[in-house]
Amino acid sequence: MARAMFEYTKTVLNKVSFDATLFCKELQKALQRLLPYEIEELKIYIKSLILQNPELDQCLILLNE
């Protein structure tokens, strides 16, 4: 079940990547829901997403908390 939540989170983040504010809100939710090892995987995914959408880099601060 946990893996399904991780995949769902990636899907949601991908869909809201057009809006940095919305992306940051969804990222905050994801960081509360996911397990620590999933958060590490999510960091890798987000860094690749930021390469495609540089305006999302303001959300990186959430990953460093």
At 4-55, the pLDDT tens digits run 999 999 999 999 999 999 999 999 999 999 999 999 999 999 999 999 999 9
Identity of the residue numbered 45: Y
For the chain, the domain total comes to 1
* Contact call for residues 22 and 43 (beta carbons, < 8 A): no
Q: What is the pLDDT of residue 63?
A: 84
Alpha helices in 1-65 (DSSP H): 2-15, 20-33, 36-52, 60-63
pLDDT at 65 over 80: no
pLDDT at 1 over 80: no
Predicted TM-score (pTM) of this structure: 0.87
Domain coverage including residue 57: 2-63
**CA-CA-CA-CA torsion sign (31, 37, 38, 41):** positive
